Amino acid sequence: MQVTAKLHAILRRYRPTGIRDEGIPVEIPEGGTPRDVAAALGIPLELIHAVFVNEVQATLDTPLQPGDVVRLFPPVVGGAE
């Protein structure tokens, strides 16, 4: 089934070659999860801090449906002193 991945911050370096758009079509098995999306894109799981599916906070093991939008975020650091 196909879902759309949106990668944020340093995870953008895992976009497939030639894809500059934020939405990346990803084929995963039926009943797949965000964990499968990460694997399909070669993203190490330790780099993923937050997951959203269709704008709702989720986990790496949330079941996906065809057409879902999966946003993956790395840990964020920084700020003002």
* Contact of 3 with 69, CB cutoff 8 Å: yes
Average of pLDDT values for 61-67? 98
Q: Does 79 score more than 80 pLDDT?
A: no
Q: Where are the domains of the chain?
A: 2-73
CATH fold for domain 2-73: Ubiquitin-like (UB roll) (3.10.20)
**27: which 2 tokens?**
């084929």
Q: How large a percentage of the chain has pLDDT more than 70?
A: 94
Show the CA angle centred on residue 8, arms to residues 4 and 9, nearest 5°.
155
Q: In this predicted model, what pLDDT tens digit does every residue of 9-19 receive, in sequence order?
A: 999 999 998 88
**5: which 2 tokens?**
């991945």
CA distances from 32 to 5, 9, 60 (A): 13, 24, 10
What pLDDT was estimated at residue 49?
A: 97
What pLDDT was estimated at residue 77?
A: 60
**16: which 2 tokens?**
């497939």
* Contact of 45 with 60, CB cutoff 8 Å: yes
* Contact of 10 with 76, CB cutoff 8 Å: no
Q: How large a percentage of the chain has pLDDT more than 90?
A: 85
Kindly report the pTM of this predicted structure.
0.91
